[in-house]
Amino acid sequence: MNSSPVSRRRFVQSTGALGAVLAFAKPPAVLPAESPGNRVVVGVVGLSRGMAHVAGHLGVNNVEVAYVCDVDSARLANGLKTTESKQPDRKPQGVGDFRRILDDKNIDAVSIAAPNFWHTPMAILAMQAGKHVYVEKPGSHNPWEAEAIVAAAEKYKRKCQMGNQRRSYANVIEGIQKLREGVIGQVLFSRCYYNGARPSIKKGQPGQPPATLNWTLWQGPTPERPYKDNLHPYNWHWHWHYGGGEMANNGIHALDVSRWGLGVDYPKKVTFLGARYHWEDDQETPDTGSAVFDFGHCGASWDDSSCNPRGGEKLPFVAFYGTKGSMLMSGGNDYTVYDPKGTEIDKQSGGPGGGDIPHFENFSAAIRENKPLNSPISEGQKGSLLCHLANISYRTSSVLTCDPKNGHIIGNPEAQKLWKREYRPGWEPKV
């Protein structure tokens, strides 16, 4: 897409033309031009969580952030200023349309921290343009997208890492290995927990979007809806049209570790019990509840308390229960092992290997040296699928029976309708 700045502005302003970028379906015949000194050159999209991406990438040796992008010009200006202060020797560009980044043949990777509904469509376009992709969790808005982004990484042979950073925590990796070695015997069950103190999102008021926000481009692949003042920049999470509630926001982190430790892929049955209990407002997703996953020979659960921090409870982020004891993880770079009587027999915490940077280091090493990704999208999306299935169970008030070979829903037409969403004309991802 070698359009002029003027033609590009007109392109962005035209809703009907937004999907024209999908016309290119093959990546360039060659990889992006080799960066000087084997430098990995990155563009970061979405400058809320994306500023942590900027810091993470710049915490890795020989990585350059060449672009920062946001559809809100005020946030873009602040993000550009911050990035410049962290990278004074290489001035980044600030753009409002992520496709400007895809046009640049010198870009090696796109780092996606835009809202959930953008993850898969943006990632596929980036991989089609020959870019490697780092994508925030959950990486997909629905089960169909979870399969599509995996297919794209395979077809276009791009590195695609999901932002479930505990996959790169040294002590967590060690703890999972000890589970494999039988430190607590046969692992039978995993329990995950999340708590918070989220306030009401209130009743959104219709009106004109802020002058700084490109509302049309913010919505991107989603069918267009009028602006409400309680959606942007964060509370879109709690509307099915845009997000996946707390399951896709925080559940994915714990359930990814849970599934990893259990050594399972897809469930046989999924159910969710809960509701929006705390506030009378616009939130559509539950604030309290439990999701349960049956894998046949073992199981897992996720307990959500988004609006009550349950201060008296000290429940672990993830717990594993086996025939010879248990292992608890706090959510940081740690694990603790107990025997059946509750006596602590092993503990590891702290030290190197926590936080965001090790995950970004692994991503850069995969690009430079073809090292294995710690969380390739094919693995990450198995965890995301658990979250999507739990949400579908909640939305249909049903226990889902799934094919353990691929997680597909069996014998439930109402639930199967939620496997895929509708897209704005021209924006449906095509692999």
- pLDDT score, position 352: 84
pLDDT score, position 324: 98
Using DSSP bridges, classify how beta strands 63-69 and 93-95 pair: parallel, antiparallel or unpaired. Answer: parallel
| Spatial separation of the C-alpha atoms in residues 69 and 47, rounded to whole Å | 7
CATH of 19-166, one of 1.10.1040.10, 1.10.40.30, 3.40.50.10490, 3.40.50.720: 3.40.50.720
Residues of the chain predicted below pLDDT 50: 1-36
Whether a cis peptide bond, with omega within 30° of 0, leads into 233 is yes
Beta bridge partners of 271: 292
- Helical ranges in 39-92 per DSSP H: 50-58, 73-86
Q: Give the per-residue pLDDT at 14.
A: 34
Query: Where are the CATH 3.40.50.720 domain residues in the chain?
Result: 19-166
What's the pLDDT score for residue 33? Answer: 41
Q: How far is CA 42 from CA 32, 138, 148, 361, 396, in A?
A: 11, 21, 23, 13, 41
Question: Which residues does 342 contact at the CB level (< 8 Å), separation at least 6?
Answer: none
pTM comes to 0.92
Strand partners, 272: 291
* Three-class DSSP labels, 373-417: CCCEHHHHHHHHHHHHHHHHHHHHCCCEEECCCCCCEECCHHHHH
CATH 3.30.360.10, the chain: domain bounds: 170-202+227-351+377-419
Decide which of 3.30.360.10, 3.90.870.40, 3.40.30.10, 3.30.365.10 is the CATH code for 170-202+227-351+377-419.
3.30.360.10
DSSP-derived 3-state class of residue 80: helix
pLDDT of the residue at 37: 58
Which stretches of 245-376 are DSSP H helices? 245-246, 252-262, 357-369
Is the peptide bond prior to 115 cis by the omega test (within 30 degrees of 0)? Answer: no
Distance CA 45, CA 32 (A): 19
Distances (CA, A) of 402 to 125, 129, 266, 294, 415: 30, 35, 8, 10, 11
pLDDT for 314: 86
- Among 172, 156, 161, 174, smallest CA distance to 371 is for 161
